[in-house]
Amino acid sequence: MTAPYKKTEELEWEDHFMKVDGKMVDGNIKYIYTRERDESPITVMMVKLRKGVSLPDHVHRDQPDLVYALEGKATMFVDGQGEFPLEPGMVVQVPPNTLHSIRNIEEDVLIYNVFAPATR
C-alpha cells in the first residue's frame, strides 16, 4: 500500500477514458487512489469535464458511484430519479447497476468521485 496521504496538486491529470460518438470525452481525470496503482479497496479521483460535454449513459455494475460537485454547472441523470441540476456542494449517490450520466455541461465541471469497492 502507498502512503496514507497524497497532495492532489502533485498528481497528474490524465485524459478521460470515455468516448462519445467514437471521440474521447473532453475532460481529464486525476486518480488519487486506485486498486491498480495503490492496492486501495476504493477508487478516489477528481474529474474535470469541459463546457459542452455530455457523458454517455452508463452503469457501474458492482459499486455505488458517489459524485461530489466542487465547481461548475451541469445536469445529472439517474435512472428512477430523472434529471436534476448538478452544482457545487451537491452530493449524489448512484446505486450499483443504475443507469446515470452527467449531461449538458454549462460551465466546466470539477467533481470528486468515489467508488467502493474499487473500480480499477
Which of 103, 109, 86 is CA-nearest to residue 28? 109
Each residue's pLDDT tens digit, 42-79: 999 999 999 999 999 999 999 999 999 999 999 999 99
The number of domains in the chain is 1
pTM for the predicted model, two decimal places? 0.90
Residue 23 covered by a domain: no
Evaluate whether 54 touches 89 at the Cβ level (below 8 Å). no
Residue 114 covered by a domain: yes
Residue 8 covered by a domain: no
Q: Determine the Cα–Cα distance for residues 47 and 56; give it in Å rounded to an integer.
A: 15
Asked if pLDDT for residue 36 goes beyond 70, the answer is yes
- The CATH number linked to 96 is 2.60.120.10
Q: Assign 8 a pLDDT band (cuts: 50, 70, 90).
A: very high
Which domain, by its residues, includes 77? 43-120
Asked if pLDDT for residue 33 goes beyond 60, the answer is yes
> Whole-number mean pLDDT of the chain?
93
Residue 59 covered by a domain: yes
Q: Which three cell numbers stand for residue 53?
A: 460535454
Residue 103 covered by a domain: yes
Residue 85 covered by a domain: yes
Residue 1 covered by a domain: no
Residue 57 covered by a domain: yes
What pLDDT score does 22 carry? 80
What pLDDT score does 24 carry? 82
